[in-house]
Structure 1
Amino acid sequence: MKFIAGLMAVLFAAGAQAAEVQVAVAANFVGPMKVLAADFEKASGHKAVVTSGSTGKFYAQIRSGAPFDVLLAADDETPARLDRDGAAVPGSRFTYAIGKLVLWSPKADFVDGNGDVLRRGQFAHLALAAPKLAPYGAAAVETLTRLGLLAALEPRFVQGESIGQTFGFVTSGNAELGFVALSQVYEDGKIQRGSAWIVPSHLHNPIRQDAVLLAGAKDNAAAAALLAYLKTDKAKAVIRAFGYDL
């Protein structure tokens, strides 16, 4: 009993020592991550320091020694590559969300519920994330390919390095419409403004988003705690509220 009591005391003492975890977050997940980071800090005392960007760029930065502890990617392949490269902790990878692609415009009634606006072509610019860097961009290209519209619309592409920059192109008016993440325009069970077509999942490969603990953080208790928190019912409720599947 004395041993167990001593062990519990050590664990509680370790939990009381707040620490920071450096998190690389795919741009589509910034909205829910802000909520999750605040909830995580309240629950654990640890602080999640969030950096957002494209998954492809994060891969290059991590392989070059960027001091991230956790990657929340926009795909499942990048964390798997880091695992194969020895840059991630084996067995730590899991799917935290399944993303949804949406064709969106801030203009009301511009995008119809079936995406026929793409065939009508009454627009000058179509924004999407660079497909080699951002999984949502790859999903957009797959969608256009399956619709038979890629060749016709490719000259109108305005490409962002991340889905965050792509969203900025549409909101600023540099493109009349664009393929963005549903989570960027969705809250409280509905699309907040403008007009949209939620792209049917059969038109592109699943956007399975994986999290992974990076090798340099194998002994980082705060990083492990964050990944554990993402698996809780409370965290899952937040993720669903932003339009993701689980």
Structure 2
Amino acid sequence: MPTRSCSMILRACLASLLSMFTVAAVQADEVQVAVAANFTAPIQAIAADFEKDTGHRLIAAYGATGQFYTQIKNGAPFEVFLAADDSTPQKLEAEGETVKGSRFTYAIGTLALWSAKAGYVDAKGEVLAKNQFQHLAIANPKTAPYGLAATQVLDKLKLTEATRAKIVEGQNITQAYQFVSTGNAELGFVALSQIYKDGKVSSGSAWIVPADLHQPIRQDAVILNKGKDNPAAKALVDYLKGAKATALIQSFGYQR
């Protein structure tokens, strides 16, 4: 009798544990996210906390905002879009591709002129006007908002013509960064978040471009129609608005 009783208790405990695991599995969802290339490092850090704090898993793809727009219009399976501008999410919203009321600004980006060489870029960016470099890397201004901002800076400084033949374009801001980090370009316009750590530029030399030299880089997030019924999509958007994510985003040099 005691043996049978223990066996029954054991089966009941196992059934209870199985039920708990099943509920957890049902509650945990994945969310497919299209992430602007400049936000790669922050979202990777956020993803770990997001999964730990909510149980949901974030699956990210990285690229240029303009390219993601095309992919979304062609049926890509993204559920949340973290763009590098505000105009592309607004456009998708106007075209009926997003969940109404879900769009918000998750970060305001900062542009930097950077060289992998220490001392190469001065604190005022006068290296541009001296024009003694051979290559200047930027992201494609037609698809990448940071690339567009770079062209606005050159135009404002009246350096567009002087630098035109020296510009090398990356498909997105990550490729522009790679051109500089590998030495294929002496300097380039990158996102501050790519070179910023613990409150300072982590390597090489840089000029943090004043915000009045280009249009504000307001980066909006939005839930796409494919994420309408996914609890993890809403959970991610809510999480990005929270204090923990905000502090992490700011640690990479963004404003909110």
Using the size of structure 1 for normalisation, the TM-score is 0.94
Residue identity in the other structure for 1:88: T
Partner of 1:42: 52
Aligned counterparts of 1:151 and 1:215: Cα–Cα separation in 2: 43
Partner of 2:143: 133
Tell me the CA shift for residue 17 of structure 1: 1.8
Partner of 2:116: 106
SS of residue in 1 equivalent to 2:32: strand
Cα distance per residue 1:25-61 (max 9 Å; x no partner): 0000000000000000000110000100000000000
- Gapped runs of 5+ residues in structure 1? 1-12
Partner of 1:68: 78
In the TM superposition, what are the counterparts of 1:69-108 in structure 2 within 5 Å?
69-108=79-118
Tell me, yes or no, if the aligned pair for 1:105 and 1:111 is still in contact at 8 Å.
yes
Aligned counterparts of 2:54 and 2:26: Cα–Cα separation in 1: 8
Tell me, yes or no, if the aligned pair for 1:101 and 1:179 is still in contact at 8 Å.
yes
Tell me the CA shift for residue 90 of structure 1: 1.1
Aligned counterparts of 1:199 and 1:116: Cα–Cα separation in 2: 11
Partner of 1:165: 175
Aligned counterparts of 1:158 and 1:213: Cα–Cα separation in 2: 34
Tell me the CA shift for residue 190 of structure 1: 0.5
Partner of 1:56: 66
CA spacing shift, 1:239–1:217, aligned 2, 3 Å: same
In the TM superposition, what are the counterparts of 1:116-131 in structure 2 within 5 Å?
116-131=126-141
What is the identity percentage for the equivalent residue pairs of Structure 1 and Structure 2? 59
Tell me the CA shift for residue 177 of structure 1: 0.2
Instruction: Tell me which of 226, 230, 236 is aligned to 1:216.
Output: 226
Partner of 1:182: 192
Aligned counterparts of 1:216 and 1:146: Cα–Cα separation in 2: 40
Aligned counterparts of 1:131 and 1:227: Cα–Cα separation in 2: 27
Cα distance per residue 1:184-236 (max 9 Å; x no partner): 00011000010000000000000000000001111110010000000000000
Q: Give the greater-gyration-radius structure (CA).
A: 2
Using the size of structure 2 for normalisation, the TM-score is 0.90
Partner of 1:19: 29
Tell me, yes or no, if the aligned pair for 1:15 and 1:44 is still in contact at 8 Å.
no
Output the aligned Cα RMSD.
1.0
SS of residue in 2 equivalent to 1:50: strand
Partner of 1:6: none
SS of residue in 1 equivalent to 2:137: strand
Aligned counterparts of 1:196 and 1:217: Cα–Cα separation in 2: 39
Tell me, yes or no, if the aligned pair for 1:143 and 1:203 is still in contact at 8 Å.
yes
Aligned counterparts of 2:243 and 2:164: Cα–Cα separation in 1: 42
Partner of 1:142: 152
Partner of 2:205: 195
Partner of 2:15: none
Cα distance per residue 1:43-93 (max 9 Å; x no partner): 011000010000000000000000000000000000001101111111100
**Aligned pairs, number:** 234
